[in-house]
Amino acid sequence: MADHAHDHGHGDAAAHHGPTTGTYIIVAVFLTVVTALEVGIYYVEAIRTSAAFVPVLLFLSAMKFFTVVGFYMHLKYDHKLFRRLFGGPFLIAISTMLALLLLFGQIAL
């Protein structure tokens, strides 16, 4: 009986663990690479003067945002409802910003 209780408790604890140290290191390296890419894109004049400049930076920033929220704020390991409550309004905000950028001529289709 004690073994069953121990197994059950251990199984629940293992299922609810967050990211490991290795995961944090991989995420930090990923964020560093994406940030370096963003900075590098700024210094390439052909990209900086093109219509794709703002959308590319927005996309890279959104990738970093979801990575930070998912791993450092542990949203990836929370219930799906929390992801929807957080992601839904974010998608509405991004859509609104993109529509405004399109409306004011900052991006083209």
User: Is residue 32's pLDDT more than 90?
Assistant: yes
Asked, for residue 34, whether it belongs to a domain, the answer is yes
Q: Which two three-digit tokens encode residue 35? A: 């940030």
The total number of structural domains in the chain stands at 1
* pLDDT > 70 in the chain, percent: 80
* pLDDT > 90 in the chain, percent: 21
Q: Is 109 helix (H, G, I), strand (E, B) or coil?
A: coil
Look up residue 106 and give its DSSP letter: S
For position 107, what pLDDT does the model report? Answer: 67
Asked, for residue 94, whether it belongs to a domain, the answer is yes
Confidence of residue 41 (pLDDT cuts 50, 70, 90): very high
Q: Is 108 helix (H, G, I), strand (E, B) or coil?
A: coil
User: Is residue 11's pLDDT more than 80?
Assistant: no
Q: Residues 82, 86, 89, 90: is their CA dihedral positive or negative?
A: negative
The answer for residues whose C-beta is within 8 angstroms of residue 107's C-beta and 6 or more apart is 51, 54, 55, 98, 101
Domain that holds residue 88: 18-103
Highest mean pLDDT among 39-43, 53-57, 66-70: 39-43
Asked, for residue 11, whether it belongs to a domain, the answer is no
What is the average per-residue pLDDT within 92-109? 81
